[in-house]
Amino acid sequence: MNLIGEHTDYNLGFVLPIAIDRRTFVAAGPRTDGRIRGWSMQEAESFDVDLASLLPGSLDGWAAYACGPAWVLAQEVALAGADLVVSSDVPLGAGLSSSAALQTAVSLALAGMAERALSGTELAMVAHRAESDFVGVPVGIMDQMISALGRRDTALFLDTSDVSYEHVPFHPNDSGLVLVVIDTGVKHSLGEGQYAQRRRTCEEAAGVLGVASLREATLEQLDSPALTEVQRRRARHVVTENERVLEVVSALLEGDLEAVGSAFVRSHRSLQHDFEVSSPELDVAVEAALESGAVGARMTGGGFGGSAIALVPVGSTGALAVGVEEAFGASGFASPRLFQVAASDGAASHG
């Protein structure tokens, strides 16, 4: 789950995610007939495919995400097939990186069966190729990196331009706060085109400005009359969001959670107005959280639905739940789901 740094990863900027205490488990067993078979404890559909027939775009649904790592790894190691059983309590479509969790877990399981040791970064690269090249969603690498490299009580300060990273302390309980997820229940799908459209606009803006990526752009450059108004607003979000990530990292190192909360709010406003990836439900969630005592709140994830997060005083979680529930009811929205999360460890192999 991303604390801050939204839509900056594919612009080679900074991000600051945490791994949360929700899990996707994959039990894997070897086969010798070249087939990949999969079952899910949460999904009705199973799959049974020929490993040699896997091609980008050849599958859809959860099978595509589960088979993507097999397609990637088969290009590097000898895979003779596998049986996969998946169980997960990571909410689907909630902006909490459920696809990255699945792909990272499958990648780790298959690499283990092939006796291929992968570093955390290598594991993330396999999972990222599975989503971007096999599934065909042009995501940045943030979700896979935090799934592979998450560490308890820390956030991952990641520079996506060179994939360098640093673990930064994140334990809001020391400041009397908890991190709450507000799942709006509105499923988002990065594959529906809006995400790719935002990415194209950012790339176009970078081209107009003559920089390799918006990571290199400055606020002063955004005054260029060569930019369209949409390009200017998209680029302004990226430039200011990178600044907010650096601000939050400094605040966490100083233990200043009030400053973190302020950056959350400014991030949401930018995503709402400049990048235009929020939704009515996300906006209501953020405003209701702030009115109910949160020191900061913002949408998290790619947008167009999914979840908001809020930093809330320990004794105010009940008031938050009531306030958000009432605000959703008054707006005619279905009830959201709220739950606390903590920074947790990333992927690990067992057995």
The CA-atom distances, in angstroms, between 188 and each of 80, 243, 290, 296, 301 are 35, 27, 23, 23, 9
β-bridge pairing 35-40 and 82-88: parallel
Q: How far apart are CA 283 and CA 278, in angstroms?
A: 7
260 Cβ contact list (under 8 Å, min separation 6): 3, 248, 251, 252, 295, 296, 311
Name which of 330, 170, 329 is nearest 260 in CA terms.
170
Of all helices (H) and strands (E), which one includes residue 107?
A: helix 98-113
Q: How far apart are CA 149 and CA 146, in angstroms?
A: 5
Please give the radius of gyration of the chain, using alpha carbons only, rounded to the nearest integer.
Answer: 20
Name which of 67, 202, 209, 213 is nearest 127 in CA terms.
67
The CA-atom distances, in angstroms, between 307 and each of 96, 128, 180, 184 are 8, 22, 10, 6
Q: Is the dihedral of CA 144, 146, 151, 156 positive or negative?
A: positive
State phi, psi for 338 to the nearest 5 degrees. -115, 140
Is 143 catalytic? The answer is yes
The CA-atom distances, in angstroms, between 177 and each of 118, 150, 314, 337 are 36, 21, 5, 19
115 Cβ contact list (under 8 Å, min separation 6): none
Instruction: Tell me the three state secondary structure of residue 90.
Output: coil
Instruction: Tell me the three state secondary structure of residue 302.
Output: coil
Among 143, 183, 274, 283, which one carries the catalytic annotation? 143
Q: How far apart are CA 98 and CA 34, in angstroms?
A: 27
State the catalytic residues: 143
